[in-house]
Structure 1
Amino acid sequence: MLKKISAENIKELRNKTGAGMTDCKKALEDSDGQIEIAIEALRKKGLASADKKSSRLAAEGLVESYIHAGSRIGVLVEINCETDFVSRQPEFHQLAKDIAMQIAASQSIVYISKSDIPDDIIIYEQNLELQKEDLLDRPAEIKNQIVNGRLDKRLKELSLIDQVFIKNTEITVEELIKQHISLWGENIKIRRFEKFLLGEGLAIKNNNFKDEVSNMIQNK
């Protein structure tokens, strides 16, 4: 006997996945009301449909900002979608805010995805791993396996979409984006971002009072 699917169950699944109401109802019916199985089914379906839309042009969207408490870190990020209708949705604005906050919180990120990382950076990181002392006496095959694993981990640290989403550590930023692609049926892209750190790049003068007095006396 199938478990009766309530409106509360459907709403809970929608809140957890961002999927449409009809899709949530069907997933719960197919899983006999087991929400974790329904989540997994929607995630697989959502990711598949998102991949099909990833090549479509996304020229609408918005630029979002985030200023961290204390005003020492700021972020600007441009996120694109396909239509002005989606760009006006509260969920799209919240997505942009979440991405901007993620950028501020992730100190190591420099690129949107691993595919954006230049070859010279990849070679540099690979050479750093090859030179580590704990690998010097390892057989070549094992050494290469370890280096490849460490290199992949390092490149993910540099990539925004490979980060674990700070508000839900069970998914990555890429999966978060794909959930919203599934929700609206539109392609969504993080186009560019810029992080601002207060004082970054400035040569800060650090003379103490004693040094300043000494310099004044010597220059008389």
Structure 2
Amino acid sequence: MANITAQMVKELREKTGAGMMDCKRALEEADGDMEKAVEVLRKRGIAKAEKKAGREAKDGLVEAYIHAGGKLGVLVEVNCETDFVAKTDDFKTFVRNIAMQIAATNPIAIKREDIPQDVIEKEKEIYKEQARSSGKPEHIIDKIAEGKLEKFYTEHVLMEQPYIRDPEITIKDYVTEMIARLGENITIRRFARFRIGEE
């Protein structure tokens, strides 16, 4: 059993925003390994976040992000449960990071359910046609189209995109971490992205 020092607990707390006792228990469970302790906390955070996900988020912030040069801008509304959380630096930073993610990646929807069915069907048909024209056997064309559709979701659905500041996690993971850290349900409600000259 590794000796868990106050410095280790402090370092893990600064990294994750979790409570002191949660950090101490995670370090004990991970036998003093900082990376494993972060994983332990993330797994627990997911469990905490799932409990909070059903609660209504009716407060929050609208963030305006204008990219350098003024040719690209984003408006995003992110909801939380209380104005207390909405006023915290952690929440404000989170909302700003989401706005920058949208500016950088140009998603078309927040969740895959938000994409109109006709857009999905059109994409599937394009993928099937590409597979056929490259000579793929007919019996695997549907599987190829499904695989390409998953890639489409990863690129175009905000919650499924890799987070630009930490590509190891998705935006959904980032939201889950913030729910665990702030102790409230958080919802990315809507966004608009504008670029000079785009329709």
Give the TM-score of the pair, scaled to structure 2.
0.93
Is 1:63–1:76's contact at 8 Å kept on the other side of the alignment? Answer: yes
Q: Which sections of structure 2, spanning at least 5 residues, go unmatched?
A: none
1:60 matched to 2:88: no
RMSD value over aligned CA atoms? Answer: 1.6
AA at the equivalent of 2:181:
L
Displacement, 1:163? 1.1
| Cα 1:13–1:141 shift into 2, 3 Å | farther
Describe the SS at the equivalent of 1:125. helix
Give 1:46 shift: 1.0
SS state at 1:66 partner: strand
SS at match of 1:169: strand
**Contact 1:75–1:193 under 8 Å retained in 2:** yes
User: Structure 1 residue 188: deviation in Å?
Assistant: 0.3
The share of aligned pairs that are identical, in percent, is 47
In the other structure, the counterpart of 2:139 is 141
Partner residue of 1:10?
9
Secondary structure of the 2:69 match is: coil
1:14–1:134 CA distance, 2 compared to 1 (3 A): farther
**Separation in 1, partners of 2:2, 2:73:** 49
Q: Tell me if structure 2 keeps the 8 A contact 1:18–1:179.
A: no
Deviations 1:85-138 (Å, cap 9, x if unpaired)?
Answer: 11111100000011011111103x110111211111110111110110566533
Q: Is residue 114–residue 156 contact of structure 1 (8 Å, CA) maintained in 2?
A: no
Q: Which has the higher strand share?
A: 2
Which whole-Å CA distance do the structure 2 matches of 1:104 and 1:63 have between them? 15
Taking the aligned partners of 2:52 and 2:175, their CA distance within structure 1 comes to: 12
Task: Give the TM-score normalised by the residue count of structure 1.
Answer: 0.85
1-structure distance, mates of 2:75, 2:181: 24
Structure 1: unaligned runs, 5 residues or longer: 202-220
SS at match of 1:131: helix
When structure 1 is superposed on structure 2, of 85-94 and 44-53 the one drifting more is 44-53
Matched, 1:121 2:119: yes
Larger CA Rg, structure 1 vs 2 = 1
- Output the amino acid matched with 1:187: N
Q: Describe the SS at the equivalent of 2:193.
A: strand
2:82 paired residue number: 83
